[in-house]
Amino acid sequence: MPHPARLPAILWTNVNMLETPGFAFTILAFLLVLGPLVFVHEYGHYIVGRWCGVKADTFSIGFGRKILGWTDKRGTEWKIGWLPLGGYVQFAGDRDAVSQPDADWQQLPAEQRSHTFPAQPVWKRALIVVAGPVTNFLFAILILASFAWVGGKLVTPPVAGGIEASSAAAAAGLQTGDRIVAIDGRPIETFGDIPMAVAHRPGEAMQVRISRGGSEQVVELTPRLVKAKDPFGQEYERAIIGLAPPAQQLQSISLLEAPAVGLRQTWQIVRQTGEVLGQFLTGRRSIKDMNGPVKIAEISGQAATLGLASLIFFIALISINLGFINLLPLPMLDGGHLVFYAYEAIRRRPAPPQAQEWAFRFGFVAIVTLMLVVTFNDLGSIGVWDRIARLIG
């Protein structure tokens, strides 16, 4: 996944060193994270498909051989596969789980054909496809809004409560009491926006607009990379500028205000995810920093160990990442389908079948390659390759 699957450091505040969760507990936590998110994503496709009059043949959580399943009165088979790393909805007229048209869908009787996916106008197909990622975002917004409404929001003004010696902030001449207005044009409204803006940008010069004594000025500073340990004793890296936060205040959030809070937090995570992806694409960040299923499973166990609230927050974080990734313009992903639908809408005809076939082959190879790379990274991060090297040596 483009965004490092790491629990925000704020969840570790005042947490003593914890034991690493066991294998069985980690697997259970992983399933509790991934299962609902896959269901939410696929249900978005399914329910909008129903609204559009498209019949769903299969709704699957997981891939591979069915371990549990049933067929409802509409003729949709609901099943759970043995490999819980995703899911799919296969609509009538689809050849496979990635919505490539069946060659024989046009030979169906008119009544049946009208309820197939390929027979729908392009705007309906696009709406059905985009519904999955959008549902992931809405699910995350609901979680974050609920947290804000139930527990309130800790408000920390973006003011320097202290300056760390020999830090980037000290070198730039920042002083205690300075208010951070913007970083590289990104408005800063709370102190928590500051680490969101700099944590993934070590070594990059940044323009920081500050307010001091009633006037504003712009300073340039470069965040430095530091290593820290989480409550499970594992090292992680992040960039800091060396500001200490001021005193926090708990602000109550009304039910009407809560969705806006959830939307804002979701947008912050989407924006940071996009920035990190841009770093991978431009070579400013190594592909070794990408996380995959193994790392997500590990952090799922850690989040569950920290408590139910941490686990639910992590579910929201992964839901946002899942929605973001699925909108990438890669064939086999929802974003790839949307690219073809955009072409069809502009040219008034679908892309040539051969072009679509080759695009899906490329997408399959790209996704499999990426999964192998991130799994290799994950195994290295938990010490598998080091242990193998010691055994061989």
> Annotated active-site positions, please?
42
What is residue 167's three-state secondary structure?
coil
Token pair, residue 314, equals 């992590």
Place of tokens 């709370």: 190
Place of tokens 């920042």: 174
Answer for the pair 164, 242: CB distance below 8 angstroms, yes or no: yes
CA–CA dist 218, 180 (Å, integer): 10
Name 244's Cβ contacts closer than 8 Å, sequence gap at least 6. Answer: 160, 161, 162, 163, 164
CA–CA dist 389, 386 (Å, integer): 5
**H/E element holding 299?**
helix 293-306
- Cβ atoms < 10 Å from Cβ of 277: 18
Token pair, residue 112, equals 């049946």
Question: What are the C-alpha distances in Å from 37 to residues 32, 40, 79, 392?
Answer: 9, 5, 16, 40
| Cα 278 versus chain centre, distance | 15
Beta-sheet pairing, 153-155 with 249-251: antiparallel
CA–CA dist 100, 118 (Å, integer): 9
Q: At 73, which amino acid appears?
A: K
Name 164's Cβ contacts closer than 8 Å, sequence gap at least 6. Answer: 170, 240, 242, 243, 244
